[in-house]
Amino acid sequence: MDLKTQYLGLELANPIVVGACPLGTSVDSIRDLEAAGAAAIVLPSLFEEEIMAAARTAMEIESAGAGFAEAGSYLPNPDGYHIGPGQYLDHLEAVKAAVKIPVIGSLNGTSVGGWTNYSKKMENAGADALELNTYLLPFESDETGAEVEQRTIDIVAAVKEAVSIPVSVKLSPFFSSLPNLAKRLEAIGADGLVMFNRFYQPDIDIENLDVVPNLRLSTADELRLRLRWLAVLSAQTRMSLAATGGAHSAVDVIKAVMCGAHSVQMVSALLIHGPDHIGRTLDAMRFWLTDHEYENLAQMQGSLSLAKAENPKAFARANYMKMLDSWEM
């Protein structure tokens, strides 16, 4: 069964891409993911905050007149997930040398500024494409929705200006008009959309009156939000579309592709089940497609987009009342 798909102009052997997460921090685990069948990997994000912190430290060293040889000892070298800009580029180069699948760099930031130059450095380090995550929680009452959108547009425009590799934008679902934002992103040259960012919700500890950050992995229920917007946007954009959030099984991947996804990222499922989950998912997809007499994956790609679905109203408001009425007491 031919599961090939085109994503960001890259030919992928199948639609399953490892999304940005800690599995991308070790060359060995990326080799395992490739061996298990991953078609591409998005490396964990390099954050604007990390880039700016490294730049500040470099400036402090310079103004303190410290010798070059000592400089390395001043730079942050945090343990664990986030490794800082210099090491990020080294890691990217090492991953490129170790695997054949496309490697997508990820930049995460919210303001227009010098940090976006790292997109060029990622390109030079061998990234096949870039994913830009503009994870932003607008807390200021003076900032309008239009300004929030413009910020995303400006960051994407700056990165597009800097690089010649494809650039996708990992979006939040919380925009007033996603189709309009998508249209504007396409107009400035964005090559793809990744839908959607999962916002990590802090909990409240009522005993200690405290806000508790805790990270919960996704469940397949979260896919539905993605399915609707994939179906809506795939009917009106030429950009590549990736699903992220709630894809755990072969059925989930098939649903996302039917709604218009060109690739489907997995993170939680791989953190729970390990890299071999990819191989099992691909086997189950092949079985299902063969059983349903598809000749290849491309045949079903977008078959349930708003433009092609037999019942497109099911994605829209028209179905809302009907659905509420269907609840049986």
Ligand X SMILES: Cc1cc2nc3c(=O)[nH]c(=O)nc-3n(C[C@H](O)[C@H](O)[C@H](O)COP(=O)(O)O)c2cc1C
Q: Which of 284/309 has CB closer to ligand X?
A: 284
Contacts of 312 (CB under 8 A, 6+ apart): 231, 306
20 is a contact residue toward ligand X (CB under 6 A): yes
CB of 99 to ligand X, least distance (A): 18
Q: Three-class SS of residue 287?
A: helix
The whole-angstrom separation of Cα 23 and Cα 34 is 12
| Binding span for ligand X by CB under 6 A among 149-157, 233-241, 266-274, 316-324 | 266-274
Please identify which residue in 22, 86, 114, 202 interacts with ligand X, judged by CB under 6 A.
Answer: 22
Give the span between the Cα atoms of 64 and 60, in whole angstroms. Answer: 6
Question: What is the C-alpha separation between 307 and 234, in angstroms, rounded?
Answer: 8
Distance CA 60, CA 146 (A): 37
By C-beta, is 221 or 293 nearer to ligand X? Answer: 221
Cis peptide, bond prior to residue 199, ω within 30 of zero: no
| Total residues at interface with ligand X (CB under 6 A) | 22
Would you say 91 or 170 has its CB closer to ligand X? 170
166 lies in the site for ligand X, by CB under 6 A:
no
Q: Does 109 bind ligand X (CB under 6 A)?
A: no
Toward ligand X, which CB reaches closer, 105 or 260? 105
**Cβ atoms within 10 A of the Cβ of 181, count?**
20
Query: Which residue lies nearer to ligand X by CB, 267 or 278?
Result: 267
191-210 positions binding ligand X, by CB under 6 A: 198
CB-nearer residue toward ligand X: 194 or 306: 194
Residues numbered 116 to 145 that lie near ligand X (CB under 6 A) are 133
CB 271 within 8 A of CB 221: no
Helices (H), the chain: 27-36, 48-64, 68-74, 85-98, 118-124, 145-162, 178-187, 223-234, 250-258, 268-273, 276-291, 318-325
Which span (16-24, 48-56, 66-74, 314-322) binds ligand X, by CB under 6 A? 16-24
Among 41, 267, 304, 306, binds ligand X (CB under 6 A): 267
Q: How far apart are the first and last CA of the chain?
A: 45
Residues in contact with ligand X by the rule CB under 6 A: 19-22, 44-45, 106, 108, 133, 170, 198, 215, 217-218, 244-247, 266-269
